[in-house]
Structure 1
Amino acid sequence: MGVSMNPATDLPEPRHRSRGRWQFVFLLLVAIGPMLLASAMYKWRFWVPEARNYHGTLIGDGRTLADLGVPTGGEERWQLVVTTPDSCTADCRELVYLARQVNIGLAREAARASHALASGEPLAADYDALLQREYPKLVRYPLDRQHYQGLDDGGATPRLWIVDPHGNLVLRYERGVNGKGVLNDLRLLLKLSHIG
């Protein structure tokens, strides 16, 4: 005796089919939903926390050292760069000292960073001699003064910048900044970074 198959009875019931569809839609929402939400939060800036745990001004617009008027070199480490459109005056000298102290404060991680000075004018002879004697690891760059002073964010004053190994500006500090805050920021960046 042959077994007859009835195609109508072999199909799943419509109720089970719609339940399977809802499960599939739910799984898609669980997998893709968070990515869509994060993208929307980034694009339209909603639900973004106002609290921050860094001490400088975050530079997130893709600017590099070249945008400041500093020629990019072959430095493949994190850098603490002091920029000044003039010869290095008291505020600038304070930042140069701070950059070196922060670099030293990194202890075991100090080799992953360097400190630098970019000035728009030649340094005073006595200060130049002091730097050569007491700051032997200080990297020196020329600074395009007109380019730097043309910045829309008050580029006429000395500043300290944290720059990543690709030359991207990460954080900016004004004169009078607390060195401990700069050190904490740089330590955090080095901890999170796999470059430099």
Structure 2
Amino acid sequence: MNSQEPRLTTTARNKRTLTIVAVAFLGSFLLAGILRYSGWRPEGLKAKGELLQPAVDAHLLQPKLADGTAYPWNPIERKWRILVVPSDNCADKCTALANQLDTLWQILGKDAPRVDLLWWAAVPEGAPAASHPRALQADPALLAKLPRANDPAGPVTYILDPNGFVVLRYKPGTDPGDIRTDLSRLLKLR
């Protein structure tokens, strides 16, 4: 009988260990499920701008550049767009934003050609030319699609995907580093 006692203790210990491992394993799945369905997201995965849900569909509109030529969406090129809608009398703010966006475009390095910088109606005076900013003709139909575009506080910035959907909005005064962070993540999507 003495030989069976250590064996029962070992068996009980093995069962206890197996139970602890099973609870830890299944508990992590349960915790992950609770966090996922509660809407929690790690800070590093959150967009810095306002994520438009659902994304605003502007792909059926055909914007025109200031010179009257059509600006094609052309999703095959996988080109993202930064669109700035200036407010009234934002000369200094718009010029400062143009400089910051030019720097942002240059920081993108090899991905810079995959980003177009568009300005509503006119590129501000003194805007750097390195990023090749383009002016779109004022189109009321496109402006109507842009959420809260007319902000008296300053220029509003949007990111449009390669298909012509408006996916992110940045309020006036947003740090361009936040735009760069979001755009860098989006450029990784192929």
TM-score surpassing 0.5?
Answer: yes
- What SS does the corresponding residue of 1:175 show, helix, strand or coil? coil
Is the deviation greater in 83-92 or in 156-165? 83-92
RMSD over aligned CA atoms reads 3.6
Q: 2:71 aligns with which of 53, 60, 73?
A: 73
The offset of 1:153, in angstroms, is 3.2
Q: Using a 3 Å threshold, how does the CA distance of structure 1 residues 95 and 47 change in structure 2: closer, same or farther?
A: same
Query: Does the CA contact (< 8 Å) of 2:120 and 2:135 recur in 1?
Result: yes
Match of 2:47 in 1: 54
* 1:117 has 2:119 as partner: yes
What is the TM-score with the length of structure 1 in the denominator? 0.58
Larger radius of gyration: 1
Stretches of structure 2 that go unaligned for 5 or more consecutive residues are: 1-32, 65-69
The offset of 1:89, in angstroms, is 2.2
The number of residue pairs the alignment matches comes to: 144
Query: Does the CA contact (< 8 Å) of 1:148 and 1:156 recur in 2?
Result: no
Match of 1:91 in 2: 93
Query: Does the CA contact (< 8 Å) of 2:106 and 2:131 recur in 1?
Result: no
Q: Using a 3 Å threshold, how does the CA distance of structure 1 residues 46 and 166 change in structure 2: closer, same or farther?
A: same
The offset of 1:82, in angstroms, is 0.6
Using the aligned pairs only, state the percent identity. 21
**Counterparts of residues 10-29 of structure 1 (less than 5 Å):** none
- What SS does the corresponding residue of 2:83 show, helix, strand or coil? strand
* Distance in 1, Cα, partners of 2:104 & 2:51: 18
* 1:138 has 2:121 as partner: no
- What SS does the corresponding residue of 1:60 show, helix, strand or coil? strand
What is the TM-score with the length of structure 2 in the denominator? 0.59
Q: Give deviations 1:133-181, integer Å, cap 9, x for gaps.
A: 7357111102236974797636234211111111111111122211222
Q: Using a 3 Å threshold, how does the CA distance of structure 1 residues 185 and 152 change in structure 2: closer, same or farther?
A: closer
